[in-house]
Chain A
Amino acid sequence: MGRRWDPALAAGEQAGCVVSARGAERPGAEAEGPWSCSGVLLSRRAGLVLCHGGIVAPFLRMGAAALQPGAGPPFLGADSCRDDLRLHVQWGPGRGPGAQAGPRGALCTPPC
């Protein structure tokens, strides 16, 4: 892309992040998740991140019903989720040979 996109590229690189959610491991039970999505670092100084709400939906105390229209105000506080919710945010340049290896998953790169 040409220089026209430089501001957008810089903003995306600066603000882009990935967020994952999982349940804390409990004795005798498998941890839930992880669920993950992309996000936006709104403020690096304050550490504020906005991401899709779906990754915490499995941890809602009232279940997904709490998200239905008309179920209440258009926001829910942190106490709407279970205490075992664990959230992690990753950002910064991760691509390339110097990057940390991630866990292997089901995706692969079949030759075309």
Chain B
Amino acid sequence: SVRPAPRGPARARLLLLVCCPTFRSSFARLFGGEAAEQWRFAGGSTEPPAPPQEAEAEADEGPLLAALGWFALLRVEGRAEASKGPRLSVAAAASLPKGAPLLACGSPFGAFCPDIFLNSLSRGVLSNAAGPLLLTDARCLPGTEGAGVFSADGELVALVAAPLCWRAREWVGLSLLCAADALLRAAAHALGRLGSQADARLLAALLPPDGGDPAAAPTEHSAAWVAAVLVECGSVWGSGVALAPRLVLTCRHVAPREAKRVLVRPATPKSSPVWGKVVFATQDTSPYDVAVVKLEENLKGIPFPVLASHFHEGEDVQVVGFGAFGQTCGPSVTSGILSAVVEVNDAPVMLQTTCAVHGGSSGGPLFTGSGELLGIVTSNTRDNSTGATYPHLNFSIPITALEPALDQYRRTGDLQPLQELDRPGEQVRVVWRLQRVPAEPPRSKL
């Protein structure tokens, strides 16, 4: 077993405090400026976590938040021991593609009850990255600041910088990470400046080789999420998915029918933005919140997704959307399972997932693990009585409900089948109003 013997608390001394300058600059770029007031980060204290609304209000007060992006290097006194397990190795964070599986290992509530909470595990994916600033959808709690986040093959990828984020009063469901390689590089440099050459060499020895292995570079160009696009329509923006070189599917509330022109920005920086027009959007009365955009030019370098024909509750899925950051650092990938498939007359009419979905993700694609397109996201959940938003319960339109009409349009340019989406049955409307479908029509007692 690699499990070490139980240990009581050991004294330690501070060697240095260090922050990664690139992390700080990425943080300022993503969360600073006009967006600064919208973002709140919460976590760290020895107190139990407050409910989201209260925690948001208190988010700026914790000492851990004042030091967001700063990490402490310590040396345990008199308790060093020979390693009995595998040597810690550090991943080159830049080599990980979005969607890569991650495992966070931390202690919720910090030193509170470590006998119960020490090294709790949480699984997720690499949701987004801006240099050494990483985001994961692995669920982390206050007290897990500083926790290690590992790749599936056991390499240390990052440390948790802030476990909880809110944007515009909505819990985002992502945790903020600092890449371990950049952080250790900064710490080794600092140790060298402070004259601790031996420790600097020790840290440097943990690092992956400079430059990395070209073969290990992210293979994002072939990933399914590359079909996700940012859709800008005046001051409104949202997500969409490219189904063909000139065909983008999104939501009506992102690209309404009265919109004359929309700008579609592909997820890969190498692809250029393309103008398009809304050729079809469902009426406001339709429960299917769908719009179809025809582009003026071909999208290039995008692998168009295979459309799913079946849905399996419980299967691993991923949502891709520009919800968290718009075009600032590309789409975010969040993972979960297909939690429900709601059918009317044996036909799927609504999909639910446990992926974290935020404002701005509307129109974004929902993929299976193998990259098949299951549907497009339209909404997450809000409790109007409390104002709480639940990003992990969200709703998507099954692609099977759209595919015949889209196929007809692609082949013939005929919009008539799409217009049928304005006239779904009453049962479909009831489902999307989140009303229970009665098992039997109520009978009159008269």
On A, residues with C-beta under 8 Å from B are: 1, 4-5, 7-20, 33-58, 64, 67, 69, 73-78, 80-81, 85-96, 98-103, 105-107
Contacts and interface: CB of A to CB of B under 8 A. Distances in A.
B103 A8 contact: yes
Interface stretch (B16-24, B276-284, B438-446): B16-24
B103 A9 contact: yes
Given A43-B83, A50-B73, A75-B193, A13 B11 contact: no
B85 A53 contact: no
Nearest to A68: B66
A95 B152 contact: no
Give the top 5 A-B pairs by smallest Cβ distance, nearest first. Answer: A54-B64, A12-B105, A36-B110, A7-B154, A53-B70
Interface residues of B, number: 97
Contacts of B306: none
A53 B112 contact: no
Interface string B35-54: 00000000011111000000
B75 A49 contact: yes
A92 B81 CA distance: 12
Contact of B5 (A4, A34, A92): A92
Contact of B71 (A17, A47, A51, A58): A51
Nearest to B142: A37
Nearest to B81: A44
B160 interface: yes
A50 B16 CA distance: 10
Contact of B106 (A16, A76, A106): A16
A99 B82 CA distance: 23
B72 interface: yes
Given A67-B19, A75-B18, A96-B115, 11 more contacts: A8-B152, A15-B88, A40-B146, A40-B180, A49-B76, A64-B67, A88-B10, A90-B118, A94-B114, A105-B112, A107-B112
A58 B3 CA distance: 34
Contacts of A16: 105-107, 118-119, 147-148
A45 B107 contact: no
A47 B118 contact: no
8 contacts: A4-B152, A8-B153, A14-B86, A36-B110, A40-B148, A75-B18, A95-B116, A95-B117
Given A19-B12, A38-B144, A89-B74, A55 B159 contact: no
Interface in B148-170: 148, 150-156, 159-161
Nearest to B89: A11
A51 B158 CA distance: 11
Nearest to B123: A1
Nearest to A4: B152
B144 A43 contact: no
B190 interface: yes
Contacts of A42: 88, 184, 202-203, 206
Interface centre among B62, B79, B115, B183 (most CB of A within 10 A): B115
Nearest to A65: B66
B308 to A, nearest CB: 24
A66 to B, nearest CB: 8
Contact of A100 (B5, B83, B115): B115
Contact of A78 (B15, B62, B103): B15
Nearest to A66: B17
Contacts of B193: 73, 75
Contact of B47 (A14, A17, A106): A106
A76 to B, nearest CB: 4
Contacts of B208: none
B270 interface: no
B4 interface: yes
Contacts of B159: 40, 50, 52
A92 B80 contact: no
Contact of B74 (A33, A51, A99, A101): A51
A57 B143 CA distance: 15
A3 to B, nearest CB: 11
Contact of A90 (B68, B114, B180, B189): B114
A88 B150 contact: no
A85 B4 CA distance: 28
A43 B103 contact: no
Contact of A13 (B9, B119, B146): B119
Nearest to B82: A45
Contacts of A53: 17-19, 67, 70-72
A10 B85 contact: yes
Interface string B181-222: 001101101100110000100110010000000000000000
B258 interface: no
Contact of B145 (A49, A54, A64): A54
B105 A15 contact: yes
